[in-house]
Amino acid sequence: MKHIIIASTSTLHGSDYLDYILEELKVFFKNVNNVLFIPYARPSGISHDVYTDNVKNAFSKINKDVIGIHTFENPVTAVEKAEAIFIGGGNTFVLLNQLYKNNLIDILKETVIDGTPYLGTSAGSNICGLTIKTTNDMPIVYPPNFNALGLVPFNLNPHYLDPDITSNHMGETRETRIKEFHAYNSPPVVGLREGSWLHVHGNSIILKGNLSARIFEYNKTPYEIESGAELNTLK
């Protein structure tokens, strides 16, 4: 049975890494002592070691140990034996490319579907969808394809931003970009605002946090769902 948290971000403005969701994670990881961290997304190009140390500091607040997958000789075995898995933010293209390079896509999907708790933030959330075509990241590397883990039956847009009517910026909004996606693709897209997350338990997918989420379905007008809403019928 799937047990997943898909969070828009790892850090809210003015708070420390994962602080806004630590109480939720304390419950989510209550039966876990060690978390396998996959640092492949490398925000700002930081090293795997530095990124893992940042995560260790955060998880120490809920008395969990963290070990980076890059320290294992065989990353596939590391995933197979993990008590729990966390993939953080950074560049989604870099992340997906490394997962393919290390032959982790299939085993990661199988392991999570079989019940190993999985936490994703930002890029680590993008890969929970059907593809990464709705990420906000620049394609600085080219993965073998854009297909992701498909742990939920839709795509994600973490860090979703509403149009700012006071801004002089004339570029495309997130909503415009997602409409462009739907000109060529039909899967729904969930726009997750900062501080929001999806809690997946088995076939249940519930929006959590204080904010609503924006839902984009093919050939439909975008609409809002409130925190606590169930998304398991969104396909």
Whether 204 sits among the annotated catalytic residues: the reply is no
Mean residue pLDDT across the chain: 96
CB within 8 Å of 72: residues ≥ 6 apart: 78
Asked if residue 31 belongs to a domain, the reply is: yes
* 162-202 residue pLDDT tens: 877 777 665 679 999 999 999 999 999 999 999 999 999 99
Percentage of the chain modeled with pLDDT above 90: 93
* Beta-ladder partners of 31: none
**pTM given for the model:** 0.96
- Name the least confident of 136-150, 156-170, 219-233: 156-170
Task: Let me know if residue 177 belongs to a domain.
Answer: yes
Q: Does 230 reside within a domain?
A: no
Report yes or no on 234 lying in a domain: no
Q: Is 47 annotated as catalytic?
A: no
The per-residue pLDDT for 170 is: 57
**Domain ranges, residue 49:** 3-225
In a domain, 43, yes or no: yes
Q: How far apart are CA 123 and CA 40, in angstroms?
A: 10
Q: Has 196 been annotated as catalytic?
A: no
Domain presence at residue 170: yes
User: Domain with 138 in it: what CATH number?
Assistant: 3.40.50.880
Pick the catalytic residue from 3, 70, 159, 182: 159
- Distance, CA of 206 to CA of 216 (rounded, Å): 17
What is the spatial distance between Cα 71 and Cα 194, in angstroms, rounded to a whole number?
31
From 137, 199, 212, 227, active-site residue: 137
Nearest to 137 by CA among 151, 154, 123: 123
CB atoms within 10 A of CB 146: 16
Is residue 216 very low, low, confident or very high in pLDDT (cuts 50, 70, 90)? very high
Q: Residue 137: pLDDT above 80?
A: yes
Residue 27 in any domain: the answer is yes
Q: Determine the Cα–Cα distance for residues 154 and 187; give it in Å rounded to an integer.
A: 6
| Identified catalytic residue from 8, 10, 70, 122 | 122
Residue 30 lies in a domain: yes
Provide the domain count of the chain: 1
